[in-house]
Chain A
Amino acid sequence: MPEPKTAKDLMIPLVDYPHIPYWFTLRQAMAIVREAAVKFEGYFEPRAVLVFDEKYQLMGILTLRDIIRGLEPRFLKGTPLVKGDPSLAVLLGDLFGPNMKEQSQRPVSEVMSPIRVTVNAGDTLPKALFSMIAENVSLVPVMDEGKVAGMLRLSDLFGEISRVVLGD
């Protein structure tokens, strides 16, 4: 029986992710996301930019969703009216207008998702999976000897599970 796989076996090293300092603007972050999509041939697989402070400590994760919500804060609130008919979203603001340019100057730290949970390098996959589902996150930092060494994605865990369930 082989050693059971651990979080470390499935994680993606930090260096393979795009990074951004927390005080950079959304606009600067967008350039990174767009280029990263090019680098991964249109399929932006890490699907997140890691946010660091000046000492290179991990502060949060910035997703496409975070960026778009940052550009149009009213999307966050929504209204019963718009929820009833999403096409009324045009009423909410000028997502493609001058206001958006202004919003793009906001710092990343205002819209990023802070780290809510971490897993340890030696954690088994079920343990890691439990933490992610419990916290409702799809990406967690993997801690090795007190430092973030990489990121574990729900999609990779899913890959492992599906191999077992589908029997191949």
Chain B
Amino acid sequence: MADMEEKLSGDFLFDLQYIRAGVSQLAAETAALVEALNNLGDHRHGALVDAFRRIIGEVEDILNRRREIPKAPLTISFDHINLDMAEMVGGKNANLGEVRTRVALPVPPGFAISTYAYKVFLDYNQIAARIDDLLGFWRIDDLDGLVLVSEELKSMINQSQVPPELDGAIKEAYEELCLQWQNRPLLAVRSSAVGEDLSLTFAGQYASYLNVPPGETTGRYKDILASLFTPRALFYYKTRGFNEEEMAMGAAVLPMVNARASGVLFTRQPEAAGRDAALINAVWGLGRYAVGGIIEPDYYLVAHDPPGKVLEQRIPAKEVMLINAAGSGVEEAPVPPEKVRAPCLEARHLQELARWAVTLEAHYQRAQDVEWALDFEDRLWLLQSRQLHIPGKGPPERTRTLKQYPVLLDSGSVACRGVGAGPVVMVRRDEDLKNFPQGGVLVARHTSPKYVTVMPQAAAIITDHGSPTGHMALLAREFQVPTILAAGNATQILQPGQEVTVDANYNNVYAGIIPELLEPKQPMSDELGDSPVFRTLKEVLKKVIPLNLINPQSDTFTPGHCCTIHDLVRYAHEYSMREMFNLTADEVADSAEVVDLDSGLPFKVRILDLGGGIKRGWKSKVRPEQITSLPFKAFWQGLAAMRWPQGKPEGTKSLSSVFVKSEEEVAQGAEPYRDQSYVVLSHNYMNFSIRLGYHLSTVEAYVSDQLNDNYITFTFRGGGSTPERRERRARLIEAIIDSMDLHYERKGDTIKARIAKYPPEQMAQKLILIGKLTLYTKQLDMVLFSEGIADWYIKDFLREHVGVKP
């Protein structure tokens, strides 16, 4: 539970699979608890089983809430598509249909292959269940596993057959397209996934094919389906937390425009969104080179009004271009010498594109990112339109360059504002991405959407080439990684491992880490907080964390009033203790297994002997000396060696303080005050639930001559003081058990430690120390006023009890 709450804070990368695994683990543990209680209590707690089923049912409903793929024709003409049909045809198609039918800008006649066709494809080949299995198999942090799963999924799609009815529908739709286009064109076949190009960009994640002969359409369609499962697409999907079942893929089929020039239109600049100016990039030939980061495109900044008035322009040399190859496919060709330095667009084109920008913004009420092509008949075509991601805030007011620090680079285009610092990591090949360190600064010659796999851990990105309208730039903005493109010769100037500070507000890269530039990182909340996985986690947690059953004496302390898993656990815990220890006095007299410990210390302990833990002849109270359980003896030795509360002065009044836990605070998860501990014993075994006020720890141990069976587990949580002080106590415990060679993990103020397979004498030594530590930390959180005091208390314990010399 603590772990899931931590994820909710938004600083961690996780996916739906994580939530599912967490829920099934919780469900399994809770089920075991409920069942154990029923066995103990002669099945008197049937109502709890019902409550358990009800709550788990509710959680699963949340987890399984998913979008069904709507039933639709297999292909749909753009003339019959609008934005409301995104689930039916995918985002790209929906936008193309919207622009063609409702905005009336020139989109070529084309058709969508619907998401329903994808379902038909999966059903026909009977592969849906296998895909689910494989996707469930890998975890987000397992990049190697990711590659394997991706390979297998892709080959599964490739070996599948396109159903004959779909093949027929595609051929029919092509004939209709030919009637509208008035010849028999080659085609562009492009991905149109659900969610793609809508509120989340999936820029460049999926395959698109250009200049496809009509007969090869179905083959390319299969390739597009397979691209759902490339590693980077899978990664992107998982981090944004879609149900795998929601990865429905459509395809857009358009006639291939014979492009003289192509490019991108941003209806406004992402970095200066307040200004009514559109940004246009253009290259000769096909547009892929304008977004792929291969060459530096023409750059025009034009006003919305008067439309097309040039505010800035830059016309670099464009040595190569991508053109339609004879027959099929595309190829790179040299740009004729007279056109290398010539602008791709003339004033009238800029005017028309600026008018598009105004029209699109008026229609969508949002900035748009548009792909366009100019054909040899001087017609402009709109090939794609999608929402443009604009970062929320403007640049902070600061001088452009901090003169007092060594500036390594000071040119380029900002793709995502922000400041990041860390060691330089050169990425030359895909393999370099594999071990990309947390907080590294990615430096590469070209941009590549493949870098998305390391964006969550990259502090910043710098490339020698590339353009802010490219795919990678969109992704960088999505992940809010400070990014400078076209920085010139970053790969030569920067050295691997060198620490640099990247100021992507002003295109500056400084040597060293400059704290005054590093602003607190903007929370990802507007990104991740909006994503399905986050919403799901929030809703699931509502069914897990809140505690409604507080007071065991209350009338509402019943299974019927359990609303969350926490309630169930609380109820089961309370009643299992009652069942186990047969709380009524006359029963204690009858069943001689439960006794109270009479130690003379202010410590209420009830003992359940499973056999062999206590010397024969005891009555309803036992002295510690009468206990023969090996782990208990050792643990007790440690406990008893410490100072216990004593000398509470008679007649001193105590005043309730703001730290005393109110019922409301307990309801929100604060530990209630408890002072009854329980221990279950046998000769070799001990399970001790220690309640010392607001903190609770559990020590379980098995100690015998079979050293392979021996273990100790130690969990610790709670505390009455402020979170910082509790955190310091957790740190103190961490430091001390670390010196005792225990394996441990800490989540918030919960610590779990374990040690196993030591000989009995050494196990006993550890138990003595854990006993001492248990008492040493009683109420210690109260004291830990500062880190310095925490350090003193760590040292003091190590010196006094572990024998570490200062």
Contacts and interface: CB of A to CB of B under 8 A. Distances in A.
On whether the two chains bind one another, the answer is yes
Contacts of B788: 35, 38-39
A21 B654 contact: no
B693 A54 contact: yes
Given A20-B782, A32-B785, A39-B785, A148 B657 contact: yes
Interface stretch (B472-480, B493-501, B640-648): B640-648
B91 interface: no
Nearest to B654: A57
A107 B779 CA distance: 14
Interface stretch (B536-544, B604-612, B613-621, B789-797): B789-797
A36 B789 CA distance: 8
Contacts, number: 121
Contacts of A105: 643
A55 B652 contact: no
Contacts of A60: 652
A19 interface: yes
B732 to A, nearest CB: 13
Interface string B677-713: 0000000000000001110000000000000000000
A141 B646 contact: no
A28 interface: yes
B573 to A, nearest CB: 21
A21 B647 contact: no
Interface string B655-679: 1111111000000000001010000
Contacts of A14: 657-659
B652 A114 contact: yes
A58 interface: yes
Nearest to B652: A114
Given A14-B659, A57-B660, A107 B647 contact: yes
Interface string A36-62: 101100000000000011111111100
* Most chain A CB within a 10 A radius of its CB, from B648, B657, B658, B792: B657
Given A32-B783, A56-B782, A149 B656 contact: no
B659 A141 contact: no
A28 B657 CA distance: 22
A164 interface: no
B404 interface: no
A55 B338 CA distance: 86
B648 A19 contact: no
A158 interface: no
Contact of B654 (A24, A39, A59): A59
B464 to A, nearest CB: 50
Contacts of B652: 59-60, 109, 114
A53 B782 CA distance: 10
A18 B783 contact: yes
B interface majority secondary structure? loop
A156 interface: no
B660 A147 contact: yes
A133 interface: no
B649 A109 contact: yes
A143 interface: yes
A44 to B, nearest CB: 12
Nearest to A116: B653
A147 B655 CA distance: 7
Contacts of A107: 646-647
Nearest to B782: A19
B644 A23 contact: yes
Nearest to B660: A56
B786 interface: yes
Nearest to A118: B655
A31 B792 contact: yes
Contact of A57 (B657, B792, B793): B657
A31 B649 CA distance: 23
A167 interface: no
B720 interface: yes
Contacts of A25: 643
Contacts of B786: 35-36, 39
A42 to B, nearest CB: 13
A116 to B, nearest CB: 10
Given A23-B645, A54-B693, A59-B652, A31 B793 contact: yes
Contacts of B675: 54
B793 to A, nearest CB: 7
Given A22-B647, A59-B655, A149-B658, 11 more contacts: A19-B782, A19-B785, A23-B643, A23-B644, A23-B648, A36-B786, A38-B788, A53-B648, A56-B659, A59-B654, A141-B655
10 contacts: A17-B785, A22-B649, A23-B644, A23-B645, A32-B783, A38-B788, A107-B646, A109-B652, A114-B649, A147-B657
Q: Which 8 A-B pairs have the closest CB atoms?
A: A57-B654, A23-B645, A56-B659, A148-B657, A18-B785, A21-B779, A19-B782, A35-B788
